[in-house]
């Protein structure tokens, strides 16, 4: 990476990409570094981001851009651990609590999981918000604490430190307010710069597709997955991706405390079939990436090993895994309008309802309610009877029900009894 701060200027780099030229390694290193230092103004980087959105980047450009973002901060090193490492990243969805049972499950199979997670924004939930519903649990760990916990227990879920890819933090905020979030080169480099800097040996990407996902279209989702797998491969990280359905929300809950409770059910050998299916599928990918092929993660769910790691992991971060979880003060039940078959349940509608009930936030600094969210009592294909509970809405603030109910309107269909409902496969494709 070049150290020559005056090697280029912002207008030169912007016009090169505007005119559909491939940016040189030197241009990329300079502009990412200069923007992180504050030598390139926000309006200039916004202009470059728009040019990238409109004109794209080659694989070489994206790889170099990702490398420059990694170089803006620290890179973690887990080579001292006595076991291999693997991590998972989800592009976000509704009811996506998979990280909670997945990390202890993979650890129970002999692979360390350094899971650096984030908070929710808008209709997609955040892993840290869910875990903070557990009394006493803390998200912030020092690097030394993280290493100690990985060595002793094999799993940690915590907040990323400020030192990882600071260029991404600055650029992400800019993209959010300039209409450039959708640029696949910038999405891919944002995700992968943090994951590669995290230092894991293997990485599995869960790229969601459907109404409740960031990517609504399967072809765009596949393009994003292929781009990220290539970035991981170029950086020497064994990377695979699963395209998974997010037209229907995962499991039976969307919220914080209620998703923790559902995750514990999975760790106890029960839980919704789709959550179990995706947890085990991702665990198998992570184990394969780490070179462990002689353990079936389904067995570790069944024999209680994963639950043991979960409880130890929560206790290690000052949480009480046996304490009662917070419960919302108010609830409202939505009943089935007719007898028949639930033929559709829209993930975005459910996610917006949970957000409006207080489970999510509109701005990063907003608080969330631990007990708020939505429970659905049927999934597509299930028989329902007129008047039976279909949804339970949970919140501490009764005035939130009206807007949450409005977001559920048109978000589900009940077809006549006997209607055949063919479910969308949960796992659409595998890349890598």
- Degrees (nearest 5) of the Cα angle 31, 35, 38? 140
Cβ 300 vs Cβ 113: under 8 Å: no
Both tokens assigned to 294: 């002689």
pLDDT in tens, 99-114: 999 999 999 999 999 9
Q: Report CA 94 to chain centroid distance, whole Å.
A: 10
pLDDT in tens, 16-70: 999 999 999 999 999 999 999 999 999 999 999 999 999 999 999 999 999 999 9
What are the boundaries of each domain within the chain?
A: 86-161+196-316, 330-415
What is the model's pLDDT at position 3?
A: 46
Both tokens assigned to 320: 């009480």
Quickly state the pLDDT bin for 4 (edges 50, 70, 90).
Answer: very low
Enumerate the active-site residues: 89, 168, 175, 190, 194
Q: pLDDT over 90 for what percent of the chain?
A: 88
Q: pLDDT over 70 for what percent of the chain?
A: 98
Q: Where are the beta strands (DSSP E) in 113-237?
A: 113-117, 155-159, 202-209
What is the model's pLDDT at position 154?
A: 97
Residue 314 pLDDT more than 70? yes
Cα–Cα distance between 168 and 221 in angstroms, integer? 21
Give the CATH superfamily of 330-415: Pyrimidine nucleoside phosphorylase-like, C-terminal domain (3.90.1170.30)
What is the model's pLDDT at position 151?
A: 97
Quickly state the pLDDT bin for 2 (edges 50, 70, 90).
Answer: very low
Cα–Cα distances (Å) from 103 to 79, 200, 246, 379, in that order, read: 19, 13, 21, 26
Cα–Cα distance between 219 and 226 in angstroms, integer? 10
Beta bridge partners of 374: 254, 393
pLDDT in tens, 370-419: 999 999 999 999 999 999 999 999 999 999 999 999 999 999 999 999 99
Cβ 374 vs Cβ 123: under 8 Å: no
What is the model's pLDDT at position 360?
A: 87
Evaluate whether the domain defined by 86-161+196-316 bears CATH number 2.60.40.3670.
Answer: no
pLDDT in tens, 161-196: 778 889 998 998 898 889 898 899 999 999 999 999
Length of the chain in terms of residues written: 432
Arithmetic mean of pLDDT, 356-373: 88
What is the model's pLDDT at position 6?
A: 60
> Which residues, 6 or more positions from 366, have their beta carbon under 8 angstroms from its beta carbon?
none
**What is the helix (H) or strand (E) element at residue 335, kind and residue range?**
strand 330-335
Please name which of 270, 234, 269 lies closest in space to residue 252, comparing C-alpha atoms: 270
Arithmetic mean of pLDDT, 312-335: 98
Beta bridge partners of 94: none
Summary mean pLDDT of the chain = 94
pTM summary value: 0.94
Q: Report CA 247 to chain centroid distance, whole Å.
A: 16
Cα–Cα distances (Å) from 195 to 129, 191, 203, 269, in that order, read: 20, 6, 8, 30
Residue 1 pLDDT more than 70? no
Please name which of 285, 311, 148 lies closest in space to residue 207, comparing C-alpha atoms: 285
Both tokens assigned to 25: 């390694």
């Amino acid at each position: 990476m070049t150290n020559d701060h005056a090697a280029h200027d912002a207008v030169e780099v912007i016009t090169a990409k505007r005119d559909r030229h491939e940016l040189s390694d030197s241009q990329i290193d300079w502009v990412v570094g200069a923007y992180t230092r504050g030598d390139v103004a926000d309006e200039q980087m916004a202009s470059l981001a728009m040019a990238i959105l409109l004109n794209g980047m080659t694989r070489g450009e994206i790889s170099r851009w990702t490398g420059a973002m990694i170089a803006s901060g620290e890179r973690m090193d887990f080579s001292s651990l006595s076991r291999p490492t693997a991590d998972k990243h989800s592009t976000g969805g509704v009811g996506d609590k998979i990280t909670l049972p997945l990390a202890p499950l993979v650890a129970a199979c002999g692979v360390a999981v350094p899971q650096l997670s984030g908070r929710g924004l808008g209709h997609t939930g955040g892993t840290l918000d869910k875990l903070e519903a557990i009394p006493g649990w803390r998200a912030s760990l020092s690097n030394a604490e993280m290493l100690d916990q990985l060595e002793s227990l094999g799993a940690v879920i915590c907040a990323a430190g400020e030192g990882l890819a600071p260029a991404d933090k600055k650029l992400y905020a800019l993209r959010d307010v300039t209409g450039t979030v959708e640029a696949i080169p910038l999405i891919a480099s944002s995700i992968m710069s943090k994951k590669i800097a995290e230092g894991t040996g293997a990485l599995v990407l869960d790229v969601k597709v459907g109404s409740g996902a960031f990517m609504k279209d399967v072809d765009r989702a596949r393009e994003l997955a292929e781009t990220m797998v290539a970035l991981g491969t170029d950086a020497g990280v064994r990377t695979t991706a699963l395209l998974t359905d997010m037209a229907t929300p995962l499991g039976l809950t969307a919220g914080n405390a209620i998703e923790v409770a559902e995750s514990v059910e999975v760790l106890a050998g029960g839980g919704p079939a789709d959550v179990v299916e995706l947890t085990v599928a991702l665990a198998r990918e992570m184990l394969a990436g780490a070179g462990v092929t002689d353990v079936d993660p389904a067995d570790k769910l069944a024999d209680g090993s994963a639950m043991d790691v979960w409880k130890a992991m929560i206790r290690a971060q000052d949480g009480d895994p046996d304490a009662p979880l917070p419960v919302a003060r108010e609830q409202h039940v939505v009943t089935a309008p007719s007898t028949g078959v639930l033929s559709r349940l829209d993930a975005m509608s459910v996610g917006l309802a949970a957000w409006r009930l207080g489970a999510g936030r509109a701005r990063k600094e907003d608080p969330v309610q631990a007990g708020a969210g939505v429970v659905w009592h049927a999934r597509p294909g299930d028989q329902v009877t007129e008047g039976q509970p279909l949804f339970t809405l949970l919140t501490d603030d009764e005035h939130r029900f009206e807007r949450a109910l409005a977001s559920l309107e048109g978000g589900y269909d009940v077809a006549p009894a006997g209607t055949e409902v063919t479910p969308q496969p949960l796992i659409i494709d595998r890349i890598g």
